[in-house]
Structures are given as structure tokens and as C-alpha cells.
């Protein structure tokens, strides 16, 4: 067996910043530190923080007044920020700056009286947060079929934005359909799908043709990990999205396989290493690193934590 280990893979700058923020908050403020929603969509990361005293909640009402709460990398709506203030919570905002960029674009378009078509996945934490910036101005679409059902008169001020972790190809198809149907629609000054999502997809697109199977490390609720699995499948490769080696089955692989291993932006390197060990111990696999692009992006810690680092 041969393993083709993709790079870039795994943690992005936003996830690094969020994970480091929660670590520091636990060290400085002590347990428990409450986290609104999963810090990142990865079971390993969530469970490991639970063991250190983080408590993940889906409603701020679950948090005792005056406690410390951390907002996850996916961002929150203004209504959540306000509620945190009302409950006198010490809020640490670990929203990824690239999500904040989309929020700011939504605020600007809404202020300029645009109707905003947000391309994204219903129910995703990031989409809920972005829509909360201007709920009356934003319409969510998930597919080209949904674009076909939209009706706007020429002259209606229209803009589109996207979730940061979409499939680049799917998003482009939807944007093209929007531009065909509403040629006057405007977009963000710089595209919203983030560098990490784009780079991980680019790596799978370029390496998958040399592989027979693909393993994507990531959790089922991780949007960017799901997109990597779909991309590998679109290239005709059998692809498995798993949290770690414990989810793999020996029957899925042949000793003659060439296995592309990659990881979504929220999957830690530790899980990737364990997966490589599993393949190497069961199939005596050789390892080859395939780096398609270098990443050197870093985001600063939230202001509340910068002084403590």
C-alpha cells in the first residue's frame, strides 16, 4: 500500500486561534469555561476540551450569570452578543476573522438596502450567525434549483454572499445561475470561501487522480470535511469521512491501494498521525507527502486573551 498524505490539510488559522483561545481561557479563568456551540466541528477536539472542563451549550440560558463564555470559530449573531451582555457573561469572541468579514459585508449591503442572497447550508452555525446580522434582508439558497425559484424585478438591489466552507465548484455553479438570472447582482469585493477551504479542495482535486481510495479525517457535521469527501467521490474515488482510525474497517482496503489521506480544517494532526499508524501497521504502507501549496496564515487571539498569552 502507498499513502499519499495531502498538504495543506487539517487545522486552519481560524481553528488554531479558536483552540488556542479555549486553552488559554481554561488556564487563566479555570474550569468551567462555557462554549456556545462546538468550538469547532470535530468530536476529538470537543471531547478533549470537555475532559479539561469546557462545557458546550446550545443556549446561553444554560450558562449561569457572570460566567465566562467563548464564542466558537463559526461566529454568532448580534442577538446572542446582546443576550450574553444581559446575562453579564464575560464573552471571549473566537470568531474566525474570515467569518467576521462575511458578517461585515452583510451589514454593509443591508445598510445600503440590498436584498442579500446568502449561499450556504441551512442550520449551519455560521449561516445562523451571518443571517442574524440582517435577518430581514437575507435570503438563504442552497442549490441552483432554489435560485430558479427566486423572483426579483430588474432594478431590485441584489447582492450575494457565501458561507466560508462551501464546495468551490458548487458555489460557482450557484453564483453563475444567479448572474444569469439577475445580471445586475453584485458580489463581495473578495470571495467569501476561505483560503483553507479552497486549498484543501485544491489538494484533493490534484492528488485524487493518483489514488484508489481517499480518507478524509473530520466529523460528520464538519461542512468543509464533507465537501472534501464529495470532491473525491466526484472524481470517481471511494472516499471515507471518519473521525479517526477507530472508524476505519480493514475490509475497505486492499494491499495494492494508493490511499490519499487528508483532513478537514477542524481535524487535529494527532488524529492524522494515528490514522497513518493504523494504515502502516495493517498494510505496511509507504508514506509520500504531496504538498500542493504552502500555507502561512495566522490570526491573532481575541483581544480579551492577547494580554494573557
By the criterion CB under 6 A, which residues form the site for ligand SF4?
Answer: 12-15, 73, 96, 98-99, 164-165, 194, 196-197, 224, 265
Catalytic, 126? Answer yes
Looking at the Cβ atoms of 103 and 290, the one nearer to ligand SF4 is: 103
Looking at the Cβ atoms of 18 and 258, the one nearer to ligand SF4 is: 18
Query: Which of 126, 151, 251, 254 is labelled catalytic?
Result: 126
State the nearest-atom distance from the C-beta of 194 to ligand SF4, in Å.
Answer: 3
Gap between the Cα atoms of 69 and 221, Å rounded: 22
State the nearest-atom distance from the C-beta of 148 to ligand SF4, in Å.
Answer: 28
State the nearest-atom distance from the C-beta of 180 to ligand SF4, in Å.
Answer: 28
State the nearest-atom distance from the C-beta of 23 to ligand SF4, in Å.
Answer: 16
Looking at the Cβ atoms of 5 and 265, the one nearer to ligand SF4 is: 265
Taking the alpha carbons at both ends of the chain, their separation in whole angstroms is 43
Looking at the Cβ atoms of 192 and 243, the one nearer to ligand SF4 is: 192
Gap between the Cα atoms of 211 and 262, Å rounded: 12
What is the number of the residue whose Cβ is closest to ligand SF4? 14
Residues catalogued as catalytic: 126
Amino acid at each position: 500500500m502507498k499513502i499519499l498524505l495531502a498538504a495543506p490539510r487539517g487545522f486552519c488559522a481560524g481553528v488554531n486561534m479558536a483552540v488556542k483561545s479555549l486553552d488559554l481561557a481554561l488556564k487563566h479563568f479555570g474550569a468551567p469555561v462555557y462554549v456556545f456551540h462546538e468550538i469547532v466541528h470535530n468530536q476529538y477536539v470537543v471531547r478533549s476540551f470537555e475532559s479539561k472542563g469546557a462545557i458546550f451549550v446550545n443556549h446561553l440560558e444554560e450558562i449561569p450569570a457572570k460566567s465566562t463564555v467563548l464564542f466558537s470559530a463559526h461566529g454568532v449573531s448580534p442577538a446572542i452578543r446582546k443576550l450574553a451582555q444581559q446575562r453579564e457573561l464575560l464573552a471571549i469572541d473566537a470568531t474566525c476573522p474570515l467569518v467576521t468579514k462575511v458578517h461585515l459585508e452583510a451589514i454593509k449591503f443591508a445598510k445600503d438596502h440590498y436584498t442579500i442572497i446568502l449561499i450556504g447550508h441551512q442550520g449551519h452555525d455560521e449561516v445562523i450567525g451571518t443571517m442574524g446580522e440582517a435577518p430581514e434582508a437575507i435570503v438563504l439558497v442552497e442549490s441552483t434549483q432554489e435560485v430558479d425559484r427566486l423572483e426579483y424585478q430588474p432594478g431590485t438591489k441584489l447582492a450575494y454572499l457565501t458561507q466560508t466552507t462551501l464546495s468551490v465548484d458548487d458555489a460557482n455553479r450557484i453564483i453563475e445561475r444567479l448572474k444569469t438570472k439577475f445580471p445586475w447582482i453584485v458580489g463581495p469585493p473578495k470571495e467569501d470561501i476561505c483560503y483553507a477551504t479552497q486549498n484543501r479542495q485544491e489538494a484533493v482535486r490534484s492528488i485524487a487522480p493518483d489514488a484508489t481510495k481517499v480518507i478524509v479525517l473530520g466529523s460528520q457535521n464538519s461542512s468543509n470535511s464533507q465537501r472534501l469527501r464529495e470532491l473525491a467521490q466526484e472524481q470517481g474515488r471511494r472516499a471515507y469521512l471518519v473521525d479517526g482510525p477507530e472508524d476505519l474497517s480493514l475490509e475497505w482496503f486492499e494491499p495494492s491501494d494508493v490511499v490519499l489521506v487528508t483532513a478537514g480544517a477542524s481535524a487535529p494532526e494527532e488524529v492524522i498521525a494515528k490514522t497513518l499508524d493504523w494504515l502502516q501497521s495493517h498494510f505496511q504502507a509507504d508514506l509520500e507527502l504531496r504538498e500542493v501549496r504552502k500555507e502561512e496564515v495566522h490570526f491573532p487571539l481575541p483581544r480579551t486573551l492577547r494580554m494573557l498569552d
